[in-house]
């Protein structure tokens, strides 16, 4: 996973709306996401992997969020729409 280290920029988004509907995100939040998640908004993720520790920092025009976890261990984090989700870096 160390090959993921670096800063990554959103260049396109595909099937976002379908994915959000599949995980039961409401239409209002889907539309907000579609307006925000565009290449023109300069969305970036900074990924750092050191040993079994992963840190993902997401920078958008509205906020900066940072999530940390250990590879292979499940943990809770707030989802895009505020609902809790289970996450595991593999």
pLDDT in tens, 2-53: 789 999 999 999 999 999 899 889 999 999 989 999 999 999 999 999 999 9
pLDDT at 1 over 80: no
Q: What's residue 82's pLDDT? A: 81
Residue 29: is it exposed, middle or buried by C-beta count within 10 angstroms (0-12/13-18/19+)? middle
Number of domains composing the chain: 1
44 vs 9: CA distance, rounded Å: 4
Q: What is the pLDDT of residue 81?
A: 78
The domain of 43 spans 2-87
Span 54-72, pLDDT tens digits: 999 999 998 899 999 999 9
Give the pLDDT of residue 14: 94
**Domain containing residue 59: CATH number:** 2.40.128.20
């Amino acid at each position: 996973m160390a090959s993921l280290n670096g800063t990554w920029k959103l260049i396109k988004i595909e099937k976002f709306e379908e994915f959000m509907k599949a995980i039961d995100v409401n239409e209002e939040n889907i539309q907000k996401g579609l307006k925000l998640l565009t290449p023109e908004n300069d969305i970036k993720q900074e990924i750092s992997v050191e040993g079994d520790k992963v840190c993902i920092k997401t920078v958008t025009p509205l906020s900066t969020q940072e999530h940390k976890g250990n590879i292979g261990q499940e943990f809770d984090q707030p989802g895009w729409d505020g609902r809790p989700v289970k996450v595991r870096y593999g």
